[in-house]
């Protein structure tokens, strides 16, 4: 399996090798939650890493496959957003936006693909309820499933951007009311 159709930058070889693991883990989480992945409107895919050098290497690789459309500090660390020339094939989706955060205080178990972000249109105040309604009650109460609400905000963003994250500690599915491009375009 290749990360991109055709060749990919050497700097992204570890991510190409990580995609099957991510897809398996994502499918397992969705099955536990009773979520139909094909019905979700996934906006982007995100990474996690432990070292600045890894983030710089991945940034260099993604620059060879698309354009950097935003780079700013969010929650105390740099986050780069890329629009890929050719979308990634990720399960049932073609995803053209990649989120690359630099390492923060928290160390993740795994360096590589970490989550997908789903756009759920509607009232931002009701995002959590809409997201939870997509999951089975049994799935949400299983041991090892965590649910976290937050509201990340970059400087100048005008759209409220609540987030509901559901994770099993390996991968995460996040829900937002807006796409990343809409949030970036809302900046002053």
DSSP codes joined into one string, 134-154: TS-HHHHTSTT-EEEEE---B
Give the phi and the psi of residue 30 in degrees, each rounded to 5: -60, -40
Running DSSP on this structure, what letter comes out for residue 49?
A: -
The pLDDT of residue 126 is 94
pLDDT digits (tens, 9 = 90+) for 28-52: 999 999 999 999 999 999 999 999 9
Which of 23-27, 69-73, 92-96, 184-188 comes out lowest in average pLDDT? 184-188
Task: Centre a 10 Å sphere on the Cβ of residue 137 and count the other Cβ atoms it contains.
Answer: 8
* pLDDT cut 90: percent of the chain above it: 74
pLDDT digits (tens, 9 = 90+) for 136-147: 999 899 999 999
Kindly tell me the sign of the dihedral angle through the C-alpha atoms of 83, 86, 89, 95. Answer: positive
In the CATH scheme, what architecture does the domain 10-185 have?
A: Roll (3.10)
The pLDDT of residue 5 is above 70: no
Give the phi and the psi of residue 112 in degrees, each rounded to 5: 145, -150
The model's pTM:
0.91
The pLDDT of residue 16 is above 60: yes
Domain ranges of the chain: 10-185
């Amino acid at each position: 399996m290749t990360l991109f159709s055709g060749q990919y930058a050497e700097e992204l070889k570890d991510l190409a090798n990580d995609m099957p693991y991510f897809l398996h883990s994502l499918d397992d989480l969705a099955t536990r939650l009773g979520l139909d992945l094909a019905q979700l409107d996934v906006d982007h895919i995100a990474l996690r890493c432990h070292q600045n050098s890894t983030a710089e290497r991945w940034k260099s690789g993604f620059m060879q496959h698309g354009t950097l459309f935003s780079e700013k500090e969010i929650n105390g660390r740099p986050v780069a957003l890329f629009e890929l020339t050719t979308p990634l094939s990720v399960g049932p989706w073609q995803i053209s936006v990649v989120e690359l955060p630099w390492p923060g205080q928290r160390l993740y178990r795994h360096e590589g693909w970490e989550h997908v972000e789903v756009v759920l249109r509607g009232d931002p105040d009701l995002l959590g309820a809409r997201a939870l309604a997509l999951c089975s009650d049994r799935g949400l109460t299983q041991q090892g499933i965590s649910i976290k609400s937050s509201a990340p905000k970059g400087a100048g963003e005008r759209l409220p951007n609540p987030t509901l994250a559901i994770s099993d500690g390996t991968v995460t599915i996040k829900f937002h009311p807006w796409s990343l491009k809409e949030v970036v375009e809302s900046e002053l």
